[in-house]
């Protein structure tokens, strides 16, 4: 949780031009929080994940993760 708090600035901002790194950080953070049972914390990122899906992103191959559909 401390690592996420330190890296929160790297998570994408809705409606902004975001980097691939920030998008990967978002997906990794949500997955990690879910696996740790921190479902409420993961849910806080829902608007950002929804925004990511709107970009047409369906997977990020280098981390082998898929965005929720």
Please report, for residues 24, 62, the alpha-carbon distance to residue 46 in angstroms, rounded to integers and kept in the order given: 15, 22
What pLDDT is stored for residue 6 in this prediction?
Answer: 76
Q: Flag residues of the chain having pLDDT under 70.
A: 14-16, 58-69
Q: What is the pTM of this model?
A: 0.70
Q: What is the average pLDDT score of the chain?
A: 78
For 19-41, give the DSSP string.
-HHHHHHHHHHHHHHHHTT-HHH
What pLDDT is stored for residue 38 in this prediction?
Answer: 93
What pLDDT is stored for residue 28 in this prediction?
Answer: 83
β 59-60/65-66 pair status: antiparallel
For the segment 33-42, what is each residue's pLDDT rounded down to a tens digit?
998 999 999 9
């Amino acid at each position: 949780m401390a690592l996420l708090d330190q890296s929160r600035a790297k998570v994408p901002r809705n409606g902004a031009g975001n980097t691939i790194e920030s998008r990967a950080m978002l997906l990794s953070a949500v997955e990690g929080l879910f696996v740790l049972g921190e479902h409420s914390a993961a849910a806080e990122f829902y608007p950002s994940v929804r925004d990511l899906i709107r970009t047409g992103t369906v997977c990020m191959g280098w981390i082998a993760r898929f965005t929720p559909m």
